């Protein structure tokens, strides 16, 4: 079952300005979120490069990925909000590192807790980061009381969501299970992996997942000293991605929150090893797929969903005019011919 109590809450802000919000108000909230996100991403990237061209290029490429345009030009796709609040989480954490003011840790905790309740898998992002950071810090002998308390708060927030889900949603579960369909599961899994690799998220598949495995090998096999912050971010990002392979789900927008968590470790680890052949080849392959597949697909969905609400409203207006013209004094009964012919699991009105 679904349990995303924070989903679409941002649209209520429009009620502060009007009691009859139109779609313009809802998309205006998206625009505000985008501006805030760009600010967070700019501040995060400035910590790793002073070249503004790289900063703006990375943000532009992220904004043109299919998942980004999909979630920003459609309503109620909560990956957009998870991305925003995880960016706020990182921004506040970095501000704490700079100032050592506990207030920034508190704000980071709030941002992470909000992100959890926008998406069922959000607890993985926060819970895995907190637990991995605690374990690796303990392994290194690091005993910063405030950071340990911070991790404990994050882990508690993640576990609280799991308990609430178990108490409120699982007992009411139905027969429909995400990822289950008529096609063989192995075939679906292969198709999903190839779509993520070649179209929607080549950077995640070719760079983030291998980097995570490499760090696991270096730390737990070769005995390298862990870097708790960066390694915990990688663990969080990769296990979040793994959850969708376990669920056997594909969506252009599912991996959006991963990007903001992946930026720091990618810059931190890869920039020193980009000259090594495996990472150089992986970077070239990822960049090629982004340029040839991801960005064109993102531009397609940008133009498509830019006009989808307008075309939908025009279709409904035309239907209303037709009914009133042909049957002015009769009630119209509208029947749905088929239910989501793609999978047979959803009904759209």
Determine the Cα–Cα distance for residues 93 and 228; give it in Å rounded to an integer. 14
Interval 270-294: pLDDT, tens: 877 767 888 899 999 999 999 999 9
Which pLDDT score is estimated for 349? 45
Q: What percent of the chain has pLDDT over 70?
A: 93
φ, ψ dihedrals at 163, nearest 5°: -65, -45
Whether 62 and 42 have beta carbons less than 8 Å apart is answered as: no
3-state secondary structure at position 347: coil
Average pLDDT over residues 311-325: 87
Q: What would the two tokens of residue 117 be?
A: 């309740």
- Give the residue from 7, 345, 11 showing the smallest Cα distance to 183: 345
User: Residue 180's pLDDT is what?
Assistant: 67
Q: Rounded mean pLDDT of 177-188?
A: 75
How far apart, in whole angstroms, are the C-alpha atoms of residue 89 and residue 96?
11
Find the mean pLDDT for residues 160-188: 80
Query: What's residue 348's pLDDT?
Result: 47
- Give dist(CA 148, CA 162) in Å, integer: 21
| Tokens (6 digits) for 286 | 């990822």
At residue 271, what are phi and psi to the nearest 5 degrees?
Answer: -60, -25
**pLDDT at site 332:** 79
Least confident range from 211-220, 284-293, 311-320: namely 311-320
Provide the phi-psi class of 207: left if phi over 0, else alpha when psi is between -120 and 50, else beta.
alpha
Question: How much is the pLDDT for 170?
Answer: 85
Per-residue pLDDT, 204: 97
How many whole angstroms separate alpha carbon 119 and alpha carbon 79? 7
Alpha-helical regions (H) of 204-346 = 209-216, 228-247, 256-265, 277-289, 295-326
Rounded Cα gap, residues 239 and 216, in angstroms = 13
| Paired tokens of 258 | 């991963």
- pLDDT in the model for residue 337: 63
pTM of the full predicted structure?
0.90
Taking residue 47's Cβ as centre, other Cβ atoms within 10 Å add up to 15
Looking at the predicted structure, is the pLDDT value of residue 238 above 90?
Answer: yes
As given in the structure block, the two tokens for residue 135 are: 């374990």
* CA separation for the pair 85, 81 (Å, rounded): 6
User: In the chain, what is the greatest distance between 2 CA atoms, to the nearest angstrom?
Assistant: 80
Digit-coded pLDDT (tens) for 34-52: 999 999 999 999 999 999 9
Provide the pLDDT for residue 285: 96
Mean pLDDT value across residues 155-173: 91
Task: Give CA separation, 231 vs 110, 227, 259, 276, 279, in Å.
Answer: 22, 6, 15, 20, 18
């Amino acid at each position: 079952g679904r349990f995303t109590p924070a989903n679409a809450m941002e649209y209520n802000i429009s009620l502060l300005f009007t009691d009859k919000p139109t779609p313009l108000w809802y998309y205006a909230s998206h625009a505000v979120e985008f501006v805030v996100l760009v600010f967070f991403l700019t501040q995060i990237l400035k910590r790793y490069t002073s070249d503004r061209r790289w900063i703006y290029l990375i943000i532009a490429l992220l904004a043109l990925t299919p998942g980004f345009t999909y979630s920003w030009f459609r309503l109620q796709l909560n990956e957009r909000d998870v991305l925003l609040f995880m960016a706020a989480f990182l921004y506040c954490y970095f501000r704490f590192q700079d100032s050592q003011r506990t207030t920034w840790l508190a704000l980071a905790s709030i941002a992470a807790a909000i992100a959890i309740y926008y998406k069922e898998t959000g607890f993985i992002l926060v819970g895995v980061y907190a637990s991995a950071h605690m374990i690796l810090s303990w392994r290194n002998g690091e005993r910063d009381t405030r950071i340990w308390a911070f991790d404990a708060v994050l882990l508690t927030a993640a576990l609280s969501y799991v308990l609430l889900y178990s108490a409120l949603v699982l007992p009411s579960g139905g027969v429909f299970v995400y990822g289950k369909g008529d096609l063989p599961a192995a075939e679906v899994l292969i198709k999903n992996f190839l779509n993520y690799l070649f179209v929607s998220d080549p950077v995640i598949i070719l760079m983030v997942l291998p980097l995570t495995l490499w760090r696991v090998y270096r730390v737990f096999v070769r005995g390298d000293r862990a870097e708790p912050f960066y390694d915990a971010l990688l663990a969080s990002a990769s296990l979040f991605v793994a959850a969708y392979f376990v669920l056997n789900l594909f969506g252009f927008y599912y991996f959006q929150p991963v990007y903001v968590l992946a930026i720091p470790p990618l810059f931190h680890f890869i920039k020193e090893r980009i000259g090594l052949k495996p990472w150089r080849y992986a970077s070239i392959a990822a960049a090629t797929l982004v340029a040839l597949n991801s960005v064109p697909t993102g531009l397609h969905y940008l133009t498509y969903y830019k006009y989808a609400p307008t075309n939908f409203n025009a279709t409904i207006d035309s239907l209303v005019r037709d009914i009133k013209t042909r049957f002015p004094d009769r009630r119209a009964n509208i029947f749905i011919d088929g239910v989501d012919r793609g999978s047979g699991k959803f009904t759209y009105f």
